[in-house]
Amino acid sequence: MSAQIIPVFAERGHVEDARSPWWLTVSCCIYFVILCGSYFTFIPIFAELFKGLGVDLPFPTNLLMATYRWSLPLFYLFASGVAVVKQFVPLQGVRLWLANFTLIFAGILMLPLIVLCMYLPLFVLIHKLDQMH
């Protein structure tokens, strides 16, 4: 009986053989679908809230609310495509850095930015109420 070792990461000097596991790529794409679906749940709730409050929306919030139905799915479709392309195309240097940055931005940084855009009108309202005192 002998054990067979299947390398996941490349050895030094064999960068073109480096690939992330498929389960990670599939998990990333599923996460992007869930994340995009959650945006379609909570952005309309905030839209109703702002309509009821009658506050002026800052530019980032206004832009997000006007374009979220097409821009967010398009962005996450692009990020999913980057994750899949990384499985087939050996990327090195700047291209690998850009692909990894796109995935990190889509998976980690985009959610707090969108939540911040949704809370901006509330921050503006709180600031105006604070100035009245």
pLDDT in tens, 61-101: 999 999 999 999 999 999 999 999 988 888 889 998 999 99
pLDDT surpasses 70 at 36: yes
What pLDDT score does 76 carry? Answer: 95
Arithmetic mean of pLDDT, 37-57: 90
> Which strand (E) or helix (H) includes residue 131?
helix 110-132
Average pLDDT of the chain is 86
Percent of the chain with pLDDT over 90: 58
Report CA torsion sign: 125, 126, 127, 133. Answer: positive
Arithmetic mean of pLDDT, 30-49: 93
